[in-house]
Chain A
Amino acid sequence: MENNISWREFTITRIVRAAGYSAIGFVLLIFFFLLREGLPALTEVSVLDLLTTRWYPTEGFFGLLPLITGSLIVTLGAAMVAVPFGIGTAIFISEISPRWMREFLKPVVEILGGLPSVMLGFLGILIFAPDLRVMLSLPTGLSALTGSLLLGAIAIPTVVSVSEDALDAIPRAYREGAWALGATRWQTIWRVTLPAARSGVLTAVMLGIGRAIGETMTVMMVTGNAPIMAVYLRALISPVRTMTATIAAEMGEVATGSVHYHVLFFIGIVLFVVSLVVNITASALIFRQRKRSERILS
């Protein structure tokens, strides 16, 4: 009997460990593949050429700056939408709404998170873009603004779910202490609960931003895909071209091994590194947070 149990323990431990290592293994394999196909771009097209401001591969212009700034401005816009609405909804669900409403709202938000992004892109082309054009008197509704609004909508469910869990995890004692000292409900939420849940909320925002940076279909359909340099604030209402849409639109037509092919993979490397930096920053912040709270509580 004992032998049987220890044999099963042994196998299960090995299987679980292999599953864990394989996750790391897949990420590393993807990274090496990207490097192998993307690094030749640095030798074929000099680094200086990659940092120019014109992207027109059929004529040999491989400037990545319009694509990078395009992705950044759309992601920043999405964050400006997702952070207030997402955290606000999470606060409402966890702190303010009555129990019956919470049971109903949480699943609804999860369902919103399951909407295919293509559908939102479709709604964007047909309804959002024309209405925005008329409302704001823009030349065209296909712009970074439309893209940001839709990406924000896509990121909100992620932000809400993770923030709500973080806020829920704060012990009741924190709130009771604040109430005992005479704080109002809002003072408690804003100055006690939310700061205490800071690390979880930050993780939620990072995950939402990570989702927004990697989104392809929606931005390809509504941002217009024009490779302009998106550096001034007015770029928010003009068409932009993101890195993800570039890869999706152009990968089908490149001949394997050509310069264009290598540059597209190089864009993939840039995307990968950006996601990595976002995630590492989030983890580092949580780690520092945890160390500080351990010191305070000890």
Chain B
Amino acid sequence: MVNLALAWAEQYQKDHPDVEIAVTGGGSGTGIAALINNSVDIANASRAIKKEEIADAEKQGVTPVEFIVARDAIGIIVHPSNPVSQLTRQQLSDIYSGKINNWKELGGEDRPIVRLSRESNSGTHVYFLEQVVRLGDSNNKTMFSADTLLLPSSEGIVSEIRQNPNAIGYDGLGYIPKDLKIIAVAKNPGEPYVLPSIATVNDKTYPIARDLYMYTPNQPSGAIKDYLDWILAGEAQAIVAQQGFVPIKPGP
């Protein structure tokens, strides 16, 4: 979410020169940890705050307040020469947990599958684990296979997939450049395969979509409240679409 937060901050500071906004990255885990320590005004997160984190925050005297500020689709990306174009969630879960190891088991070429993922401090990683590897079932304890490559940034995933036909990876739609191939995903076997886009996220047909959050320590007031109100309005949501994410309400 750091690109989106930066784009918002830049636009807002242009419109309101007396306000100063500093944005730092580090993953959802970092943001929420800072929120718990009460060292930030707003924490961006691409996953919902966990119960244990809320408990930790309250121990420090902080009550997190949640705002849904945008939506995102997780796109599954492969090398453009890869013949596989559609997968079910179950197949994705089997790929990432280590049950399927060769592309030929999915109708592709005889190549080993190289799984790419973000590091565990990323909200994208946690969301993917819960909704795809574990199929949304909170009692499912399947884990990423131990040989999943955990790359420190979206850029790392993109540059590896761009030149490695064995690789499969995932990332938020806003970070996927146009030259990579996106896989159509079906929620369950037998259901239609859907490609991610603004339309399919908002009408809930794309199965791997998530909300993007901003958390404040306690109810926001003053300049912070003004900034959040601005974000939830039309102009900021147009920036959301520009960045490749999905606005929570249609344009201005």
Closest to B120 in A: A58
* Cα(A125)–Cα(B158), bound, Å: 11
Residue A228 contacts which of B56, B146, B160 (CB distance < 8 angstroms)?
Answer: B146
* Cα(A267)–Cα(B146), bound, Å: 19
Interface pair A226/B148, CB less than 8 Å apart = yes
Band of interface residues on B: 20 to 34
Closest to B32 in A: A253
Check: A289 CB closer than 8 A to any chain B CB.
no
Residues of A within 8 A of B141 (CB): 59
Closest to A130 in B: B163
Closest to B162 in A: A130
Residues of A within 8 A of B144 (CB): 56
Check: A239 CB closer than 8 A to any chain B CB.
yes
* Cα(A252)–Cα(B37), bound, Å: 13
Residues of B within 8 A of A142 (CB): 149, 151, 160
What is the count of residue pairs linking A and B with beta-carbon distances less than 8 angstroms? 86
Residue A221 contacts which of B30, B112, B156 (CB distance < 8 angstroms)?
Answer: B156
* Cα(A255)–Cα(B34), bound, Å: 8
Of the candidate stretches A39-47, A133-141, A147-155, A176-184, the one touching chain B is A133-141
Interface pair B149/A252, CB less than 8 Å apart = no
Check: B114 CB closer than 8 A to any chain A CB.
yes
Interface pair B27/A241, CB less than 8 Å apart = no
Interface pair B152/A139, CB less than 8 Å apart = no
Closest Cβ of chain B to A12, distance in Å, is 44
Interface pair B146/A139, CB less than 8 Å apart = no
Residues of A within 8 A of B53 (CB): 255
* Cα(A133)–Cα(B164), bound, Å: 8
Closest to A245 in B: B152
* Cα(A126)–Cα(B160), bound, Å: 8
Residue B147 contacts which of A56, A129, A226 (CB distance < 8 angstroms)?
Answer: A226
* Cα(A182)–Cα(B26), bound, Å: 65
Residues of B within 8 A of A225 (CB): 119, 149-152
Closest Cβ of chain B to A80, distance in Å, is 23
Interface pair A252/B26, CB less than 8 Å apart = yes
Given A58-B126, A220-B152, A255-B33: A66 and B146 interface contact (C-beta under 8 Å): yes
Interface pair B150/A241, CB less than 8 Å apart = yes
Q: List 7 A-B contacts (CB under 8 A).
A: A54-B146, A56-B143, A56-B144, A125-B156, A139-B111, A224-B149, A226-B146
